[in-house]
Structure 1
Amino acid sequence: MSFSKSADEKGGPLNTTTFAAVDSDFDNSHDKIQALVAEDHEHDIKLRTMSWQKAAWLLCGDQVCLAIMAQSWSLSVLGWVPGIITMVLAGLLFWFTSITMHRFIMVHPQIRDICDFAYYACGKNKIAYEFTGFMLLANNIMLIGFHVLTGAKILNTLSDHSLCTVSFSIIVTFMGIIMSLPRTLKHVSFMSMGSAACMGMAILLFLIFAGKEAAPGYGYNGDYPTAGPVGTYAFPPAGTGFVAAMNAVLNITFLWVPQILFPTFISEMEHPKDFPKSLAVLAAVSGFLFIVPPAIGFRYLGQYATAPAFGSLGVVAYKKASFAFVIVPTLVIGVIYANVSAKFLYFCIMGSSHHAHSNTVIGWGAWAGVMVVIWFIAFIFAEVIPSMGDFLSLLGAAFDSFFGFIFFAIAYWQMHRAELFKGAWRSAKTAFHIFVMLVGLFLLGPGLYAAVEAIKADYAGSTRPAFSCADLSI
């Protein structure tokens, strides 16, 4: 499968004459950005319209998600010390790699998505562009499928399995398609406000209920008190193997790897230089939500923590009341990933045609068609893959090692290869990015091994059949 040409070779909103020479330094990127914004604002559909505040809402809408509620389980596997260290280190890596990404995009402001980023980071390599396009679609569509399945699980839980699970998945898919029709991320950012608020309410209710109830109801080792009194511990309990510990680390690490979306977000900001402000808001929100609620959850659930932690609540009413709010972020996050994926495919199809940025029947028809195809494929994945969680770990190890680490180490090298060790500060930053590369390679190697072993272990037992009506309630 071959995708469209990279940003400096394809038509559409980019003026290829003005931006033929794209390898200038950071200082003269301002004129390029202004020209790109001015050109975009001449179109019917204006993409470069987001303020940094709306971008911050969009970032929070993506990151304030159900995966936060899986972190108590990670702590139950790793214990306090390794768990908290992993969380803090992952957050620091996220911040610095995201800043590197932003600086690189400011040098190449015509970058539209992560595929263009890989193209320039790898020295205008078309193979890197094609390979990243495959990773983008595989990763995002599988994530959308996971959200379809999660939505069906929520509806199962709230309705006491009143319909076949496939029917619930169809309902979620149709809702996702309708919500995904807005073309600009500026409009999606309004949905993100409600999404983050609903997920915040779900987390708050969970913490209240976890502290209020006498004991958790369930853990992976059986019903309470099968595994003994609730307790926490500083280090992994005896018998914790490498695969279990590695999967807990991956669960933490990949929560902090949303950078696959960032180039698309930046490309729709009216002032891309302000992205660090949006990033600072996200870092502050994530730093709190990714550590404090999971730590409180681990304190009250201990070894009975499940992923998501809602499943450990012993009172059914508590479980339903908190889990109900997750339906909004489940849909909105699916919409965000669908928008980024659809833009990549849409511009591959429309190219330099005026339909790409105009209010025409063909343009809107193509956009809607691409969106339907994305959600339909995601629905199929949600129904036919027995263990979506394990497959997402597999994709995370295989792809997020690039999207969160390797690409940014390479981009840093491209920007500073002539002065990697020029002075103490530059040498320190170079050493840090070497560490980033090593982390990415570690996740790609041992991380991928752990994900494969988890899939093999799950397949050794009973698995969910395709298009099953089975009750998926937590």
Structure 2
Amino acid sequence: MDVKQAITPADIQRDEKDRGTVETFQVGEMPHKEILLEEYLYWASITRAQEAQYEDEGDSFRLFRGKLTKKSPIETNTPTPVEISNGTDEKNGHAVDRASTSPTTAVSDEEWAEASRGIRTATWSAVFYLVTADIMGPSSAPWAIAQLGYGPGISLYVIFGIVAGTGWLLWQMFLKLDSEKYPLKTYGDLAFRVFGSNSRHFVNVLQSIEILSNVGVILLGNSQGLSQVVVGKVCFSVLCLIWAIAGMVIGQIRTLQKLSYLTSLNLWMTILTLCMTMGIISHSAPSYATALASNGVAEGPVITTGGVPPGSTFNTQIVGLMQAVYSYGGAVLFLEFMSEMKRPWDFWKSLMAAQVVILTVYLTFGIFVYTYQGQFAINPAGQGISNFTWLCVINVIGMVAGIISGALYGNIGIKVIYQTVIKDAFNGPELSSSRGKLIWAGMVPLYWSLAFVIASAIPQFSNIQGFIGALCILQFSYTFPPLLKLGFDIQVHAILPGESFDPVTRQVNRMDKGFTRWVRGMKHQWYIKLALLLFVLASASTAILGMYSSTLAIIAGFKAYHAASAFGCVSPVIG
């Protein structure tokens, strides 16, 4: 059936009247229309059914997967796709005609489905590697445990590691909202489909802040490492500027494909530095000078405690807690990973395996280093070694890994800003166009200049990590997933039996709207929704407390006699 012939002008006029808007159209053409949740659910159920038929053969996890992904009532009857001669695309919440008016250039659903499946090639094991490589960075764990002691430190890392399983909620929503017709690719896309365009803008802005801040932290860490290699003979702000210029040069690479061959090095270099650090500190004393310059801890015997260490303040304990939050900060990219998977329902394997490996590595490294260095453990841990030769070796490896990570984060961050500001806000050109390349070339120096400002203005590695963890990472990993799941479940449970998406008219037949739907949706399984709401409030409260404590710690850090000043020449790790 041709959809264009199935819809009459009267149907269109009635539909637009119901929405309270009037759009001009030609008879026989499909107008732009708002996409409601029921339509996303409809096409997602079809895509999941097609994937199941395509992938079930030879799937050794099929039985276990069936138990884990129990269908909700809205998915029990899988709809049959109708023949649609033109595709649709999603932009600002409206369905847009994708096919040309020429019958020779129209793209059929089958062709579009094949093309969509063709670009989704990542396996769950590949995504496990990506999640692990993205999150892995346990160099802050020893310092965090030093602020909390064995008992609280280990307990909080385990608790936050388990709670970081909120990625499971993102995965559940992805399965129900992603489709070949409306692919879900980013965190902002998910926020938009649940709460609307304003939430998408907010998430995109916060994601941009997080990525930029991460680049700044990487730049700061590299500058600290280089200052140790040159023994403080070069002004620290100049070192920050050197790394910023290096980022500006590498950042001119626009495609991730050209950087991808370097990404696998990051994980192995991280593991190498961990092993080297543990081996070296077990046979040498801590670097007392670095501990004094970085943490203000005077030379003395190594002390470890089962409880909160003496002298540890509430603010330093909260900042230490934020290191655990920072450690599990990969959820911001989970949806991008899922969108590339051949079997998106297998993401739970990637998530669980990665969380177990990451938690094990973090605790092993954190406990080992704290046992040998106690209160002298610094952040990052590899820079607290007293053997100068091995200190230089570890710093060089870390700096190489750091600039690669900075280039990758910077690439993604600039692309987010380009899409959000240049394209969406100012209707700019495609990035691949000549004008787009010129704009990119100008954005890269500006982006790395901002990263330089962050690194040089606040040369306090642990405190700035704690603030970023509270402001951004905690939201994406702990606050937003249950909040989005709460909004999604309320809307799904508000759907009445007679309400559904009609693929022929491409309309959703709702019996009511507004506040009554939210009340009805909240009543169904209210105890689960109440738990999600309490989770959101607890996460938000922790974020506020973390930002407050990190801010006080930053202020106190600048007042300390040993502290490095903003845009100054004194290194924060050399006394």
Corresponding residue to 1:415 among 476, 488, 507: 488
Residue in structure 1 matching 2:446, options 362, 373, 393: 373
**In 2 relative to 1, CA 183–200 (structure 1 residues): closer, same or farther, beyond 3 Å?**
same
Shift of 1:395: 3.2
Alpha-carbon distance in structure 1 between the residues aligned to 2:339 and 2:32? 19
| Paired residue type of 1:318 | W
Q: Distance in 2 between matches of 1:366 and 1:89?
A: 44
> In the aligned structure 1, how far is the partner of 2:188 from the partner of 2:297?
50
1:15-54 superposed matches below 5 A: 20-23=35-38, 24-25=40-41, 27-30=45-48, 50-54=122-126
Partner of 2:479: 406
Maintained 8 Å contact 2:286/2:376: no
Q: Deviations over 1:77-121 (max 9, x none)?
A: 2111111110111111112x1111122223332333333333334
Paired position in structure 2 for 1:444? 543
Map of 1:239-388 to 2, 5 A cutoff? 239-269=311-341, 271-348=343-420, 349-351=422-424, 356=430, 359-387=432-460
**CA distance in 2: counterparts of 1:175 and 1:39, whole angstroms:** 41
Quote the offset at 1:187 in angstroms.
5.2
Question: Which string of whole-angstrom CA distances, capped at 9 and with x for unpartnered residues, describes residues 317-357 of structure 1?
Answer: 23222232111331222233223322222223235989637
TM-score, length of structure 2 as denominator length? 0.68
1:145, CA displacement in angstroms? 1.4
Q: Out of 81, 84, 94, which is 2:164 matched to?
A: 94
Displacement of 1:194? 0.1
- Counterpart residue number, 1:8: none
| 1:59 and 1:278 in contact (8 A); partners too | yes
Deviation at 1:39, TM superposition (A): 5.8
> What is aligned with 1:13?
none
| Alpha-carbon distance between aligned partners in 1 of 2:475 and 2:287, rounded to the nearest angstrom | 38
2:211 aligns with 140
In terms of Rg, which structure is larger?
2
Secondary structure of the corresponding residue to residue 261 of structure 1: helix
Could you tell me how far 1:232 is from its partner in structure 2?
2.0
Q: Who is 1:84 aligned against?
A: 154
Q: Counterpart of 2:211 in structure 1: which amino acid?
A: N
For 1:160, which of 221, 224, 231 is the aligned residue?
Answer: 231
Separation (CA, whole Å) in 1 of partners of 2:333 and 2:275: 27
Summarize the Cα distance change of 1:210–1:431 in structure 2 as closer, same or farther, 3 Å threshold.
farther
- After superposition, the Cα gap between the structure-2 partners of 1:296 and 1:265, relative to the gap in structure 1 and judged at 3 Å, is same
Find 2:271's aligned residue among 190, 200, 203: 200
Of all paired residues, the percent bearing the same amino acid is 19
Structure 2 distance, partners of 1:249, 1:215, is 23
Distance of aligned partners of 1:341 and 1:17 in 2 relative to their CA distance in 1, 3 Å threshold: farther
Shift of 1:390: 2.6
How far apart are the structure 2 equivalents of 1:76 and 1:244? 10
> Which residue of the partner structure matches residue 280 of structure 2?
209
Q: Secondary structure at the match of 2:568?
A: coil
Verify: 1:468 aligned to 2:539, yes or no. no
CA contact (8 A) 2:131 2:354 kept: yes
CA distance in 1, matches of 2:488, 2:376: 48
Instruction: Name the SS of the counterpart of 2:332 in structure 1.
Output: coil
Q: What number of residue pairs does the alignment pair up?
A: 448
Structure 1 counterpart of 2:80: none
Instruction: Compare 381-390 and 139-148 and name the one that shifted more.
Output: 381-390
Asked if 1 retains the 8 angstrom alpha-carbon contact of 2:558 and 2:565, the reply is no
CA contact (8 A) 1:19 1:32 kept: no
CA contact (8 A) 1:58 1:189 kept: no
Q: Which residue of 2 aligns with 1:104?
A: 173
CA RMSD of aligned residues (A): 3.7
